[in-house]
Amino acid sequence: MLRAGALVALAGGTVPLTGCDLFDGDKPKPPDPLEPLAAESAALEGRYRAAIAAAPALADRLTPIADAHQAHAGELRRVIGRPAPSGAPATTPAATPTTTATDPDGLLAGLRQAEQQARENAAKACAAAPGERAALLGSIAAARATHLEALK
């Protein structure tokens, strides 16, 4: 009896250890589905800031949009629970304007194209998101739609 009790106690004590996260604490968390949208918001902010630097006459028109993308990136990072990657530039090579540095029409056309793609990405993310995230993603998609109007 004592042996059987010892075996049960031993087996019962080892089973919880196999499912325990005691040794899994060092593993990185899997990427959050909102990570790409947060990175996209940060890249868009950088792209708008670069356009403002290239064509200062557009600053009044583009600064509020850049600020909105900055706020979206910050809020997405807050929801994800992870800070922005350290040392990462706000812009990526793909996010930099590809037109002549001072051509306002070319800059605006490039921003419209990027904003259209970003709006579509936000709408898709909203449709796929759980309820607690859908409101945020819906407001980001709506904001991006208004950005398109402001860029006309």
Q: Domain limits at 111?
A: 33-150
Any domain includes 26? no
pLDDT score at 48: 98
Residue 7 lies in a domain: no
55 assigned to some structural domain:
yes
Residue 6 or 116, more confident: 116
SS3 content of the chain, % helix, strand, coil (to 5): 70, 0, 30
Report percent pLDDT > 70 for the chain: 70
User: What pLDDT is recorded for position 90?
Assistant: 45
Within-domain flag for 24: no
Mean pLDDT across the stretch 92-104? Answer: 54
Whether residue 10 has pLDDT greater than 70: no
pLDDT at 98 over 80: no
Cβ-contact 37, 137 below 8 angstroms: yes
119 vs 10: which has the higher pLDDT: 119
Note the Cα 84 to chain centre separation in Å. Answer: 9
Q: Identify the CATH number of the domain in which residue 93 sits.
A: 1.20.1260
C-alpha distances out from residue 115 to 85, 118, 128, 136, Å = 23, 5, 20, 17
Average pLDDT over the chain, rounded to an integer: 82
Residue 76 lies in a domain: yes
Window from 53-57, 102-106, 122-126, 142-146 with minimum mean pLDDT: 102-106
Q: Identify whether 22 is part of a domain.
A: no
State yes or no: pLDDT of 7 exceeds 50.
no
Q: What is the pLDDT of residue 6?
A: 47
Residue 128, pLDDT above cutoff 70: yes
Structure tokens at 76: 């997405």
Residue 10 lies in a domain: no
One-letter amino acid at 58 equals L
User: Which residues neighbour 27 within 8 Å (Cβ) at sequence distance 6 or greater?
Assistant: none
Residue 5 within any structural domain of the chain: no
Number of domains present in the structure of the chain = 1
